[in-house]
Amino acid sequence: MSAPAPPAIEAVDLRRVYRRGAEEIPAVDGVSFSVDCGAFVSIVGPSGSGKTTLINVLGCLDNPTSGALRLGGQTIFEGGKALSEAALTRIRREVFGYIFQKFYLISTLNVLENVVLPFTFYQKPGAGAEVDRLLKLLEIDHRRDHLPGQLSGGEMQRVAVARALVNRPQILLADEPTGNLDTKRSEEIGRLLKDLNEREGLTVILVTHNLQLARQAQRVVELRDGKIR
Amino acid sequence: MKKISLFQVAYKNLLRKKTRSVLTLVGIGLAAWVLVSLFGFNQGYEASLNRDIDNLGFQMLVIAKGCPYEAATLMLKGGTGLKYLKEDVVGLVAREPEVEGVTPMLMQVVFDPNKGESGGFSAFLGVDPKTFPTLKGALKFQAGGWFTEPEAAEAVFGYEAAELEQREVGDSYLIPEKNVEVKVVGVLERTGTQDDGTIFLPFRTVQRVFGVENELTGIGIKVRKEADIAKFEEKMYALPDVQVVSLAQVKTTIMSLVGTARVLVFSIAVIAILIAMMGVVNTILMSVMERRQEIGILKSMGAQALDIFKLVWLETVILCLAGGAIGSVLALGTAKITDVLVRHLLPYAPSGGLVQIDVRLVLTTLGVVTLIGLLSGIYPSWRAGRLRPLDAIRSEVES
């Protein structure tokens, strides 16, 4: 019998402490949890509960202060030591896709150019063939030549999703992806994330304060004062 | 299209703040324009001066003692108001073994009220019909030829003088103020030198008409190739009340005069380049600061520090190359105007084009401007490259 696959993400007693003068602010305070491959997990909590800090640490955008972080069994951080910036960049480009509350599309590039922008820096083999399928899947194919300024908020977020997925990441991290959208568009994005998880088998970690959106996930983790409740 | 190149991203980034990019381009373009025009002037002036000197036909001029700058002007441009030297000096000079040929010259200028709208000066150069044509072998006739005899009432018109006075071979010409009529026996082809505006007469005729018997304003000397010019010059100084102006001296004198102006213009060019550089650094740095969040996103999608460095550096290079090209085209387009302006500013300007811009010069300038761009881009690019993704994303600067 083969050994079980390691979790996509494993956090052990993870802490991220910020300093403001002499004061220490633990934004993430001893969080331990794991996310299996192909899971859809929502992290909810009030403002200032540490959701964004946690997802940034999980996504290797920020280093924890202490604890351990493993991705697919590979140690990223442990005992106060992190991988080099170059190694972290490799992990960011190969493992993760990020979606943020602000869409961060480049205003002078059209939809297609924004979507394929990650290829400028790194392209997974065969990823180029996915572009058309993604544009169709996200229903932005007819807008491929439009500039971001000509799109609605929902469309812009779908472009950001396509950009996050174009290099076929193993894990999609979405930080308040509906924060700038109305209810209807928020539901659309929620359904989309669920579809991507169910149909494509993508591991999704969603940070939101929108409980209705969070319920799309298989598992909801509640964070309060930097700790899992 | 399934991929967008770093160059396209850089180029499109510059389109985001069009006014700022255009203003930076203008700054670089102006610096490039100054550079191209300046270097163009540098090579054009020297080439024209050398051509003028070559066309003189003699390497040395003996004149009466006076201001050396005036002497240089007389030698190259013609002029009057100088002291005269006695005609018998010609014989003293000619007997020297280093001399291959001598030609006496007598320059006179008169005001002609009928010339142009408000009158103008006419320059008459009295030359020796026997020796002058030999020494000035480069002169070619459009029509006619040299004088028939040493004291003939005949004139040879330079190309522009003939055009201005509307004279052809066979016409007669009345010397202003003197009321002496001479017959036009020849019209020279265009030389691009002061000869074009000169009316040549036999020097004996000039002496008679202007009442300066036995006087000359200069003696042109062609020195034998094997002769020691410095030694010969010393010998010439032994003659009473003369000074010797050699071509080397003339060139040095003029180039030193022009050099002073050139140092000033070079200083201005250096300042213009420094200002343009600061402009580039400022523009790119501002652009980087405004795009911190975007740079964070690029890093989150896998861009390395080097990728960001290259992206920002490319923006600088595009600005500098485009600015350099615009400046070069501007310099080419305004070469004539620059020529006219510079001509007015200089103590002496040779005939022919003063500003010579060629492909090599344009490419050199583009190279210099690009190098400046590369240097200017290092700091902003380095700053952008070392931004940490999270710090950049979290920054409050609006993109």
Per-residue pLDDT tens digits for B111-142: 888 777 777 778 899 999 989 988 888 788 99
pLDDT at A28: 93
Quote ipTM for the complex: 0.86
**Does the distance separating the beta carbons of A61 and B300 come in below 8 Å?**
yes
Q: Which domains does chain A have, with CATH numbers?
A: 37-65+85-228 (3.40.50.300)
| Residue pLDDT, tens place only, B67-106 | 555 655 555 555 544 578 888 888 888 888 888 889 999 9
Nearest residue in A to B11, CA atom = A108
Nearest residue in B to A90, CA atom = B302
**Does the distance separating the beta carbons of B5 and A128 come in below 8 Å?**
no
Nearest residue in B to A97, CA atom = B301
Does residue B1 fall inside a structural domain?
no
B292 and B196: one domain? no
* Residue B396 forms contact with A (CB below 8 Å): no
DSSP letter (8 states) at residue B364: H
Mutation site for A-interface testing, chosen from B8, B18, B21, B297 by largest number of A Cβ within 10 Å: B297
pLDDT at B199: 93
Task: Give the structural domain span for B47.
Answer: 6-51+254-394
- Report the first-to-last Cα separation within chain B, whole angstroms: 26
- Would you say residue B396 has pLDDT above 80? no
**Does the distance separating the beta carbons of A128 and B1 come in below 8 Å?**
no
B234 and B378: one domain? no
**Does the distance separating the beta carbons of A121 and B300 come in below 8 Å?**
no
Evaluate the CA torsion angle B238, B242, B246, B250 in order and state its sign. Answer: positive
Nearest residue in A to B302, CA atom = A93
Q: Residue B154 forms beta bridges with which residues?
A: B183
Minimum-distance CB partner of A108 among B1, B15, B299 = B15
pLDDT at B76: 56
**Does the distance separating the beta carbons of B12 and A61 come in below 8 Å?**
no
**Does the distance separating the beta carbons of B15 and A121 come in below 8 Å?**
no
pLDDT at B225: 74
Does residue B189 fall inside a structural domain?
yes
Does residue B210 fall inside a structural domain?
yes
Out of B211, B240, B269, a domain closes at B240
* Residue B24 identity (one-letter amino acid): T
Percent of chain B with pLDDT over 90: 16
Of residues B169 and A5, the one with the higher pLDDT is B169
B304 and B370: one domain? yes
Count: domains in chain B: 2
Which band of pLDDT confidence, cut at 50, 70 and 90, is reported for residue B399?
very low
Phi and psi at B169, nearest 5°, equal: -60, 130
Minimum-distance CB partner of A121 among B294, B303, B393 = B303
Out of B213, B240, B267, a domain closes at B240
pLDDT at B118: 76
Q: Determine the Cα–Cα distance for residues B141 and B197; give it in Å rounded to an integer.
A: 14
Nearest to B334 by CA among B315, B355, B319, B317: B355
Residues of B in contact with A116 (CB under 8 A): 1-4
> Mean pLDDT over residues A154-169, rounded?
90
Does residue B381 fall inside a structural domain?
yes
B352 and B374: one domain? yes
E strand or H helix that includes residue A33: strand A23-35
**Does the distance separating the beta carbons of A108 and B5 come in below 8 Å?**
no
Q: Determine the Cα–Cα distance for residues B57 and B142; give it in Å rounded to an integer.
A: 19
pLDDT at B72: 57
Inter-chain Cβ pairs, chain A and chain B, closer than 8 A: 87
3-state helix, strand, coil in chain A (%, to 5): 35, 30, 35
> Mean pLDDT over residues B10-22, rounded?
88
Q: What are the b/e assignments for B150-182, b being 16+ CB within 10 Å?
A: eebbbbbbbbbbbebbebebeeebebbeeeeeb
**Does the distance separating the beta carbons of B8 and A122 come in below 8 Å?**
no
Q: What would you measure as the largest C-alpha separation in chain B, in angstroms?
A: 96
B353 and B272: one domain? yes
**Angle, CA B57 vertex, CA B53 and CA B62 arms, to 5°:** 85
| Residue pLDDT, tens place only, A3-56 | 778 899 999 999 999 988 888 899 999 999 999 999 999 999 998 899 999 999
**Does the distance separating the beta carbons of B16 and A108 come in below 8 Å?**
yes
- Would you say residue B379 has pLDDT above 60? yes
Chain A nearest C-alpha distance from B275 (Å): 29
Cβ–Cβ < 8 Å for B345, B387: no
B146 and B20: one domain? no
Residues of A in contact with B17 (CB under 8 A): none
Ranking A144-153, A156-165, B227-236, B291-300 by mean pLDDT, the lowest is B227-236
B170 and B266: one domain? no
* Residue B298 forms contact with A (CB below 8 Å): yes
B111 and B41: one domain? no
pLDDT at B70: 61
Does residue B333 fall inside a structural domain?
yes
Residues of A in contact with B16 (CB under 8 A): 107-108
Out of B205, B240, B275, a domain closes at B240
Residues of B in contact with A92 (CB under 8 A): 299-302, 389
**Does the distance separating the beta carbons of A85 and B4 come in below 8 Å?**
no
Which band of pLDDT confidence, cut at 50, 70 and 90, is reported for residue B397?
very low
3-state helix, strand, coil in chain B (%, to 5): 55, 15, 25
Q: Residue B188 forms beta bridges with which residues?
A: B141
B229 and B263: one domain? no
| Residue pLDDT, tens place only, B247-284 | 767 767 777 767 776 787 778 778 878 888 888 888 88
pLDDT at B395: 63
B383 and B274: one domain? yes
B220 and B324: one domain? no
Q: What are the b/e assignments for B183-204, b being 16+ CB within 10 Å?
A: ebbbbbeebebbbbbbbbbbbb
Q: Determine the Cα–Cα distance for residues B119 and A208; give it in Å rounded to an integer.
A: 91
Residues of A in contact with B301 (CB under 8 A): 92-93, 98, 117-118, 121-122, 163-164, 167
**Does the distance separating the beta carbons of A117 and B301 come in below 8 Å?**
yes
| Residue pLDDT, tens place only, B18-47 | 898 898 888 888 888 888 888 888 778 878
Ranking A90-99, B35-44, B170-179 by mean pLDDT, the lowest is B35-44
Chain B nearest C-alpha distance from A2 (Å): 33
Nearest to B350 by CA among B49, B46, B123, B37: B49
pLDDT at B388: 81
B198 and B261: one domain? no
Does residue B295 fall inside a structural domain?
yes
Q: Is B341 exposed, middle or buried (0-12, 13-18, 19+ CB in 10 A)?
A: middle
| Residue pLDDT, tens place only, A181-204 | 788 878 888 888 898 899 889 999
Does residue B354 fall inside a structural domain?
yes
pLDDT at B398: 38
Tokens of A74: 């590979």
Averaged pLDDT of chain B:
83
* Residue B12 forms contact with A (CB below 8 Å): yes
Distances, alpha carbon B279 to alpha carbons B268, B272, B315, in Å: 16, 10, 13
| Residue pLDDT, tens place only, B330-347 | 888 888 888 888 777 766
Does residue B63 fall inside a structural domain?
no
Cβ–Cβ < 8 Å for B277, B380: no
